[in-house]
A and B are shown apart, each in its own frame.
Chain A
């Protein structure tokens, strides 16, 4: 299967480890992964902030760059939601076969046990766009539950937004921080070593707050945990 990785600009620039983990994971599962180097950004930041004119060329680029693949895999729930849910609002055709990582694994590759090993306690934050736009449901949980050595701890108030919201965090910093404080408390209450999500932007927000508070919980994208093995632990 010829799979294109749409790594997203945030992961490309700030969280390349997530991209590398996604490649490792997909190749381990037998996919031929390609990284179309002409890719940049899905346009979500522009679109969500009200600059459709600027989002438009970025969206058109996505359509061009990612045509002709069996599947386009995105290690980001919110970027996948941007492409699938909002490109029509821009009048841009949605490229076929766009999947958020957990959807691709469970629905297309039909795997739940990806052969990972990660001997740590983990709690999972379902990010808003993966939860309510993409409706990935319990796919991430079923993937994490099958990881050897991993203990999945339930997160209180899991479906509540962390307060990131892209430029919301800059435009309404007080509310954003207040929401994050509650999220952080819920994460700490689990006692987990690791907080996992499908969006690094949300993890950057929660993690940035936690680091400021020296909370010592590790932020990890789902791809990093699923890529982890005994031979090559994350």
Chain B
């Protein structure tokens, strides 16, 4: 994965800063609860949800277990339909391929549909270095780009911004990128959306190159699928003469028919709608367009190699796990130091990038293991299971030396009923000395909570005395 987030502090530090931002907490709480409720309502409407979820998980499992064959099948189908297929082993190669393709058109400007894959590889930055300007056209991505900000959510990258902040960003920054914001711009969401429409309209109508990702790629037919809401996707996918789609190798589904599952799972899980306003499906060089598919690995095969962690590649980027996560709700996405925040990010990022940095090694611990993410996941990724699996790797690596020693000492006590009883007696004897503030790492507890004083008699002592009296 990209290096953009290098230098980010580990999760607890960044999270602590985010928790202290009252505006951010307010924005996030409102937004996540709104979408959480919408999702719950449209999922409840679907009587066969559990069966769809099981089918979705199984289809993705099938793809992953036979990914090589499906990739070859997809490649052949796209080429048969007049498209070109490129393979990118890492971010640098993907960026190079895209830059070369854009240069071949002679253009220096491209319009982009929101895409996680291109965020992941920092395509916009690479294009800029090559003298090519990429215009983000999704409203939230536009807000992020104009605000020189980072996305904080998979579906709604500007979820951390409220309407007043967005108005300010538009007022200050739109002019530098094209048509300025109207002078009388209010913070009414309708007015803000209208300002974005006007700002981008001319751009769409004259764009010669479009860049996208894809939600699904059908191996059998070579069909690519993009779900969206605003119509910016349709603009970028259909108006330009050249279309370049950067797609992770895990986005495949085997057959056309499999879409009947995902076209039900994704909209309801994602935006909480029965169906998103627009979906485009195209196969190869549709309507005579010059179409290029860039298949991206960039760490995905490393994830695939882990028998437990592999399930993270089932992810269809709906973001339901973010919206329901109590940790994400308090911290927002930036604390995760990756374009993939929230519970799915906590298992995907450390697998894509490895556990080498302090930040990445802290991500598997960014969860209470409450399990809400697993419940809502439309492809049944057992996120707690993968978190625990990754924690075991961190623990075994010996990265946390003091913790490891403490855990070993605790094991020694807990491995012996006699030692446990002895420490209980000691604690009971000195119970009046239980401090209000605990020392060392335990201070984190007493900063906000009282500690219970140990009882004078443990349960096992009570039981033993009761048995004696019998």
Contact = CB atoms under 8 A, between A and B. Distances in A.
Contact of B326 (A52, A163, A169): A163
6 contacts: A16-B458, A16-B461, A16-B462, A37-B464, A50-B392, A53-B395
Contacts of B416: 40
B463 interface: yes
Interface string A90-102: 0000000000000
Interface of B: 11-12, 15-16, 19-20, 25, 326-327, 330-331, 362, 364-372, 374-375, 385, 388-389, 391-396, 403-404, 407-408, 410-411, 414-417, 420, 424, 427, 441-442, 444-445, 447-452, 454-455, 457-464
Contact of A35 (B374, B375, B445, B463): B463
A12 B326 contact: no
Interface stretch (A104-112, A204-212, A225-233): A204-212
Contact of A7 (B12, B424, B459): B459
Contact of B410 (A45, A170, A178, A180): A45
A128 B368 contact: yes
A234 interface: no
Counting chain B CB atoms within 10 Å of each CB, the highest count among A43, A178, A180 belongs to A178
A165 B367 CA distance: 8
A175 B15 contact: yes
Contact of B447 (A46, A53, A173): A173
A172 interface: yes
Interface in A117-163: 128-129, 131-133, 159-161, 163
B444 A58 contact: no
A4 to B, nearest CB: 12
Contacts of B15: 172, 174-175
Interface of A: 7, 9, 11-17, 19-20, 23, 35, 37-41, 43, 45-54, 57-58, 61, 86, 89, 128-129, 131-133, 159-161, 163-180, 204-205, 207-209, 211-212
B380 to A, nearest CB: 13
B449 A20 contact: no
B372 A161 contact: yes
B407 A51 contact: yes
Contacts of B368: 128, 161, 163-166, 168, 176, 179
Contact of A58 (B415, B424, B449): B415
Given A9-B414, A14-B454, 8 more contacts: A12-B460, A16-B462, A39-B417, A50-B364, A53-B396, A131-B371, A170-B442, A174-B16
Counting chain B CB atoms within 10 Å of each CB, the highest count among A86, A165, A167, A175 belongs to A175
A163 B447 CA distance: 15
Contacts of A174: 12, 15-16, 19-20
B470 to A, nearest CB: 12
Nearest to A54: B411
A189 to B, nearest CB: 16
Contacts of B450: 207-208, 211-212
Counting chain A CB atoms within 10 Å of each CB, the highest count among B25, B393, B449, B457 belongs to B449
B448 A52 contact: no
A61 B412 CA distance: 13
Given A164-B368, A170-B442, A173-B447, A12 B395 contact: no
Contact of A57 (B411, B441, B448, B454): B411
A41 B414 contact: yes
B399 to A, nearest CB: 9
Contact of B395 (A20, A51, A177): A51
Given A37-B460, A40-B417, A58-B415, A204 B452 contact: yes
Given A161-B326, A208-B450, A208-B451, A128 B369 contact: yes
A204 B460 CA distance: 20
Contacts of A168: 365, 367-369
Contacts of B330: 175, 178-179
B376 to A, nearest CB: 11
B60 to A, nearest CB: 22
A209 B411 contact: no
Contacts of A38: 417
B449 A212 contact: yes
B375 A132 contact: yes
Nearest to B326: A161
B396 A14 contact: no
Contact of B407 (A49, A163, A175): A49
B35 to A, nearest CB: 15
B14 to A, nearest CB: 10
B326 A160 contact: yes
Contacts of B366: 172
Contacts of A180: 448-449
B391 A50 contact: yes
A12 B414 CA distance: 12
A226 to B, nearest CB: 17
Nearest to B327: A175
A172 B11 contact: yes
Contacts of B393: 50
Nearest to A20: B462
A172 B327 contact: yes
Contacts of B396: 50, 52-53
Contacts of B385: 89
Counting chain B CB atoms within 10 Å of each CB, the highest count among A14, A41, A211 belongs to A14
A33 to B, nearest CB: 10
B414 A58 contact: yes
A209 B452 contact: no
Counting chain B CB atoms within 10 Å of each CB, the highest count among A53, A133, A176 belongs to A176
A13 B12 contact: no
B89 to A, nearest CB: 31
A52 B19 contact: no
Nearest to B419: A40
Counting chain B CB atoms within 10 Å of each CB, the highest count among A13, A46, A128, A205 belongs to A13
B388 A48 contact: yes
Contact of B424 (A12, A47, A171, A178): A12
Contacts of B455: 14-17
Nearest to A33: B463
Given A57-B415, A89-B388, A179-B330, A48 B369 contact: yes
